[in-house]
Structure 1
Amino acid sequence: MAVTIEIDHARARAKAVAAAGQPVVPQSVRGPIRRIKWVVVLLTLSIYYVTPFLRWDRGPGAPDQAVLLDFANGRLYAFFIEIWPQDLYLVTGLLVLSSAILILTNALAGRLWCGFACPQTVWTDLFLLVERVIEGDRRLRLKNIGAPITVKRAAQIAMKHALWLMISLATGGTLIFYFTDAPGLLRGLAHGELSANALTWIAVFTGTTYGLAGFAREQVCTFMCPWPRLQGAIWDPEAFIVNYRDYRGEQRISAKKAAELRLHGKPAGDCVDCGQCVAVCPIGIDIRKGPNFACTNCGLCVDACDSVMSKLGRTRGLIDYETWRNIERGRRNERRTSRLIRPKTVGLAAGCMVLAAVITVSFITKTSATLSVQHDRDPLAVRLSEGAVRNAYTVKILNKSPAPHAYRLSVSGLEAAMAIIGNEHQDPIEVQAEGSETIRVTLTMTKPEEADVVFTARDETGQVALTAKDRFVER
């Protein structure tokens, strides 16, 4: 049976909210899932704010910041990892691996990342916490919308936005710390000695955090983020996502009337239509209407519903993390099954492990130096008066190590005389630490022929041999 993720009621909700001029105001909720979310919020924020201040000794002359995106010098540092522009294939591999893990997570538990660890979710939770502490819970905040502004209300609004701006400033400032020396930038910020460039980016990131977490909120998760749009293509009916067991909850009826019907042996649904699942939803959707592309799988409605069921003395799980297939099985009174391990998840997990292995091997085997050769294009070859043919090449040696090295250049694959233009006696070629040296080389063959030529550069130890392949042409 094909299932289409319902988006109409999300759109209808958005239109209704826009028409009423009211934002989505989620109610606070207590429960195990909410506690897990608070732990994730604390953990992720701690990592974000603390990481730029961690130190890592890389030797003299090298930055000691553990994680540093040094774009000015073309370096990415992450503890013992150092990425140069020539190593960006590793970053590409990590991005592909992250995407594969995200798809695997989606196949297992839907938008779990969105509901728990996405930066938009984390900072929105933090902003909502500030809002609740200052202005009260949902009922009071809804009451204040459109009400006349009093002195107390004005003070609350001012305090809330002041705290939001402080959090946004800390967020924007910390993000800049990842691109330069964090303690030095912090001292400059404290003494008002920051550059206009740094101040501009701090202002941009501060404004972005303030706008997205303070005002856009559910619009980001529903309309701005591309991930919900992919749900129609990768939604998996075997994934454990937040679902409503309609076969148990319908028909909705008050607790008192349900007790009367059951007393007479008649069926009655467990859902009392209290609306708590909608009230706590940060997106403002009603999960009882079916799978929704806007649902972030945060599970707060599960906590809210379980709380109501507990008070009524009914079994928890009316709204729960459940697969759509099991919802269909429940409608047919069939036994529920769990298929976390299935061809799709096994294939995705295997793909993730292969990608991780390839990236690991590539990182372990990457060298601290590279050799590149470019054949002159105009002309490709020059015929000398005595009949010999000369080809010219640009050879570049990049030394990524923190110490200078000397390299001896040689060629193989053909019998040709090699000469370094500009300094025929430059042997070996000196390359500074974390530097490069570009030289012009000519190869001359008395008996010219089309052949591959291999350039080899060996350092003074003889253990590091860099090779690059090109072509010798006759004409």
Structure 2
Amino acid sequence: MSSTDQNPDRLYSAREPIFPRRVSGKFRSLKWWLLAICLGLYYLLPWVRWDRGPNLPDQAVLLDLANRRFFFFWIEIWPHEFYFVAGLLIMAGLGLFLFTSALGRVWCGYFCPQTVWTDLFILTERWIEGDRNKRVKLWNAKWDFRKVRLRMTKWTLWLAISIATGGAWVFYFADAPTLFWNLITLQAHPVAYSTILVLTLTTLILGGFMREQVCIYMCPWPRIQAAMMDEDTITIGYREWRGEPRGKHRKAEGAELLGDCIDCNACVNVCPMGIDIRDGQQLACITCGLCIDACDEVMDKIGKPRGLVDYMALSDEARERAGAAPKSIWKHVFRIRTVLYTTLWTAVGVGLIVALFVRAEIDMTVSPVRNPIFVTLSDGSIRNAYEVRVRNMHANDRWFEISVTPNDVFQLEVEGGQNGMVQVPADATKLVRVYVIAPPNSAPAQSQSSEMRLWLHDIEGDERSYNDTVFNGKAAR
């Protein structure tokens, strides 16, 4: 009985340590494969090289916050293109809704960082201290040299994993080889060391000592998932109609009246959350499938069919009790809710892909200089000044021509340039001052404001971009 059961006035139950037993099966194997893939990607991705030219770090995945740009292999996201990041976040949210409504908390059971690192920490713990029974015995034993040695060894390995976790994270924000050398030579920025320290401590505490409490008390998703799931959602459940009444003595008198469950608690002993799936759907269940592997193993030993604990939909309960076959998995997966989520997810994805391929590789922004609004030249002409920021998203230096329309009225000069030409380095922006002049007796010179358009022409690539602005005349005083 937990401390909350003993004292119902308490809102928080003191943690009771959980020692999951080792289990083998298809879901445990799937989790090992996904753990290896997730950790491999996380630790190795910053070291993948990608040629980006002479002015940028050759890193395939880089979140360059200093220069406000994101790099993902051949894709480069500039500050003005943050809608790509927003779109990816929307897709991530819709994807989470989709998979939860169709298959329950598969994210929590297989892909969540808390689950992945907790599995890694439990694996290390089992390797050092032994399987469940040995770990329980060690937990209850008095402190002696052996217990101190095993605990220190385990905590040291946990700390090494946590440091590697925090260290790998900072490599996503700077050139990995350069930052690694700066870290070991103590030349890195203090922000890098402080980030590694914070992530090391959080990984060690959350993955090593809090574990299931993160999912129960800290994560909001178990409470949100109820809105995503319904009776057709496929999740882990216990076939009570088949397992009850449960009993241990299979050869005793009246054993033929018992269900298939022999009350061995194998499903409880392997659960990383320490719950009993036979009690029904619970907030703490992360649907990792380990209880299925454990129960199937027991069913094989006693000669009963597998699936006493299995992925199922609650809507099939009545059908199975009546002896009918459950609905097809496709009928559970493809229903109005999941089709709607899939449609929205696909629409956002297609929109991002289209935007990615049609985006211009050159761009400019125009800001009129307001102090003064205009200048009257010696011949009576009116001149306006503009700050023009030219963006070159190509991997090589480019020459650009800046022009104005209508060109039969306005003349254009680029400060420091000739014939409106300006050179912009690769993957960079350049701020130039542009002057637009109207003849003394022209309509733009005499009126308050006139519309005009500044053009940017890429000489090499023959791309064009424009920006509409206004020209202020004498009447604007």
Give the TM-score range, shorter chain. 0.7 to 0.9
Aligned partners of 1:231 and 1:199: how far apart in 2?
Answer: 36
Q: What is the CA-CA distance between 1:443 and the residue it aligns to?
A: 6.2
1:101-139 Cα shifts (integer Å, max 9, x gaps)? 221111221111111111111111010011111112222
Contact between 2:414 and 2:421, CA under 8 Å: does it hold in 1? no
Specify which of 358, 371, 393 is matched with residue 364 of structure 2.
371
Letter in 2 for 1:138: R
- Give the alignment of 1:94-109 within 5 angstroms: 94-109=88-103
Specify which of 30, 38, 44 is matched with residue 32 of structure 2.
38
Specify which of 357, 370, 388 is matched with residue 350 of structure 2.
357
Aligned partners of 1:427 and 1:303: how far apart in 2?
Answer: 72
Specify which of 113, 116, 128 is matched with residue 119 of structure 1.
113
Letter in 2 for 1:42: A
1:274-305 Cα shifts (integer Å, max 9, x gaps)? 22222211112222222223221101111111
Aligned partners of 1:177 and 1:407: how far apart in 2?
Answer: 35
Q: What is the CA-CA distance between 1:329 and the residue it aligns to?
A: 3.0
Question: Is 1:288 aligned to residue 278 of structure 2?
Answer: yes
- Give the alignment of 1:162-241 within 5 angstroms: 162-241=156-235
SS at match of 2:400: strand
Q: What is the CA-CA distance between 1:414 and the residue it aligns to?
A: 9.2
SS at match of 1:72: coil
The size of the alignment, in residue pairs, is 462
| Corresponding residue number in structure 1 for 2:441 | none
Aligned partners of 2:374 and 2:188: how far apart in 1?
Answer: 54
Aligned partners of 1:377 and 1:14: how far apart in 2?
Answer: 71
Q: What is the CA-CA distance between 1:194 and the residue it aligns to?
A: 3.8
Contact between 1:387 and 1:446, CA under 8 Å: does it hold in 2? no
Q: What is the CA-CA distance between 1:146 and the residue it aligns to?
A: 4.2
Distance 1:57 1:397, change over 3 A: same
Consecutive unaligned residues of structure 2, counting only runs of 5 or more, are: 439-443
Contact between 2:102 and 2:229, CA under 8 Å: does it hold in 1? no
Contact between 2:403 and 2:412, CA under 8 Å: does it hold in 1? no
SS at match of 2:284: coil
SS at match of 1:395: strand
Contact between 1:421 and 1:439, CA under 8 Å: does it hold in 2? yes
SS at match of 2:250: helix
| Corresponding residue number in structure 2 for 1:269 | 259
Distance 1:238 1:443, change over 3 A: farther
- Give the alignment of 1:39-78 within 5 angstroms: 39-78=33-72
Give the TM-score, by structure 2 length.
Answer: 0.87
Aligned partners of 2:405 and 2:92: how far apart in 1?
Answer: 42
Specify which of 406, 409, 424 is matched with residue 399 of structure 2.
406
1:31-68 Cα shifts (integer Å, max 9, x gaps)? 11111111111111111222122111222232112222
- Give the alignment of 1:380-391 within 5 angstroms: none
Question: Is 1:343 aligned to residue 336 of structure 2?
Answer: yes
Aligned partners of 2:353 and 2:13: how far apart in 1?
Answer: 53
Q: What is the CA-CA distance between 1:467 and the residue it aligns to?
A: 1.5
Larger relative contact order (CA 8 Å, sep ≥ 6)? 1
Letter in 2 for 1:201: T
Distance 1:380 1:98, change over 3 A: farther
| Corresponding residue number in structure 2 for 1:4 | none
1:408-463 Cα shifts (integer Å, max 9, x gaps)? 22333697524458569662133233232242544650453766533211122371
Q: What is the CA-CA distance between 1:189 and the residue it aligns to?
A: 3.9
1:156-179 Cα shifts (integer Å, max 9, x gaps)? 001000110111111111112222
